Amino acid sequence: MSVIDYKGFGGMPLSADVLGDDNDPAVLLIPDVGQGRLAWRDVADALVLSGRRVVNLDLRDATDSHELTSHFEDLRLVLAQMGSRPVVVAAGRGGWIATRALAPDGAHLAAGLVLVDMPVDEDAIASGVAERLAIPTLVVRGGFSPAQCSAVSDAFNAALSIGEYADIEESDLALASDRMEALLGQLLEFLERRQPREAMEFKAGSDPRTLRDAMGCFATGITIVTALDAAGAPVGLTANSFTSVSLDPPLLLVCIANSAGTAPVLREAAHFGVNVLQIGQQPASNRFAARGEDRFANQPWAPGQTGVPLLGSSLVSFECERESLHEAGDHFILVGRVVRAQFEPHRDPLLYFRGKYRRLHFA
Ligand SMILES: Cc1cc2nc3c(=O)[nH]c(=O)nc-3n(C[C@H](O)[C@H](O)[C@H](O)COP(=O)(O)O)c2cc1C
């Protein structure tokens, strides 16, 4: 995360947190008047995880919250200084600022607008601001009493029928303990439709890196596959190509690169272990993927009933009898019959997605 100072109206410095990758489509977060950018912090983090670049702006301190002119001049200046047209997401009276800033010629400044719990803006209704909004807009209601909600709704319904360009969607999100997650879901869905990310493409014959990136869009857990070599020493490697295959009989598989140092041992092993890692085992995942490390040096393990090394404190350790082996390009598929599984249901998994470790962030 970095902090950037934009120049607002009259040269006023306005600080913003900037998060995420420069190449991702941008989202500008505006807090309610009187709130700082901390209010959007969790949403900002979640948007970055879903591939957005986030600018989380602080409004200037205003003694009179109804004095909106400098606020919306600020916002227009910030938008003009941003490298690309963001979707603007505004909370509460931040929505008043955003609608006014974007009503006249918003399409040049922003790709979309999301208004979350905006109170009724009498002045804007009177002056027809909403109906002049010419950008895709999502109005999220439900954070207030039903009467307030329906007043905001009426204003935008009027805009829908009167406005020549109005492109307004509405949604109702009742106050509930999981409202923030529901809001995030709606926000992400709106962004995917209205501000799509550029699709990448792999075609047969393209470089393997692009294929790897395409495969990396499938989120997985991480395992360490283990066995004993001919001398009885433990071997193991990190693998995320794990899949459950069958319940009856109980089968699973992992795909092992022919080039892996442990491949000859795993090709011959009558038994092998698959240890699914929990969030605290990221160092083990790194160690079992790195060359030249003594992988078992500081690694607590114990032999299972078939002798295979099982790693202590894993989320689950499967002990398998080799069922079959299938050649598959530069990998082979090792299918195991589960003879025993020891698991600890209360730990969180270590996840892997787009080449990075991740953890669960939705409860
Ligand atoms: C998250 C992650 C997942 C991996 N998944 C696999 C896999 O499914 N199959 C595989 O052969 N290698 C996989 N690797 C790579 C191996 O762990 C790595 O090449 C390791 O050094 C192989 O060790 P070895 O050469 O001693 O067998 C993965 C690595 C990481 C970091």
Q: What is the DSSP string of 8-51?
A: -GGG-EEEEEEES-TTSPEEEEEPPTT--GGGGHHHHHHHHHTT
Residue 89 lies in a domain: yes
112 and 142 together in one domain: yes
The highest-confidence range among 48-62, 118-132, 170-184, 276-290, by mean pLDDT, is 276-290
How many A from CA of 128 to the centre of ligand 1? 60
Q: Is 220 in the pocket of ligand 1 (CB under 6 A)?
A: no
299 and 153 together in one domain: no
**Rounded alpha-carbon distances, angstroms, from residue 270 to 12, 338, 358:** 71, 12, 33
189 and 280 together in one domain: no
97 and 158 together in one domain: yes
Q: Which of 161-165, 173-177, 303-307 has the lowest mean pLDDT?
A: 161-165
Residue 203 lies in a domain: no
Residue 199 lies in a domain: no
pLDDT value of position 154: 65
Q: Tell which atom from ligand 1 comes closest to the C-alpha of 259.
A: 25
Q: Which domain holds residue 220?
A: 208-358
For residue 255, the surrounding DSSP H or E stretch is: strand 251-257
Please identify, among 163, 194, 225, the residue that sits at the C-terminal boundary of a domain. Answer: 194
- For 43, phi then psi, to 5°, come to -65, -40
pTM (predicted TM-score): 0.66
130 and 244 together in one domain: no
CA distance 265 to 243: 21
How many A from CA of 228 to the centre of ligand 1? 17
146 and 9 together in one domain: yes
Pick 248 or 38 by higher pLDDT.
Answer: 248
How many A from CA of 78 to the centre of ligand 1? 46
167 and 306 together in one domain: no
| Mean of pLDDT over the chain | 88
245 and 317 together in one domain: yes
Answer whether residue 82 shows pLDDT above 60: yes
Q: Which of 213-217, 239-243, 258-262 has the lowest mean pLDDT?
A: 213-217
150 CB-side CA count, 13 A: 2
Answer whether residue 8 shows pLDDT above 70: yes
49 and 112 together in one domain: yes
160 and 257 together in one domain: no
Please identify, among 194, 224, 254, the residue that sits at the C-terminal boundary of a domain. Answer: 194
pLDDT in tens, 84-100: 899 999 999 999 899 88
> Residue 144: which pLDDT band, with cuts at 50, 70 and 90?
low
Q: What is the largest CA-CA distance in the chain?
A: 85
The residue whose CA has the least distance to atom 19 of ligand 1 is 289
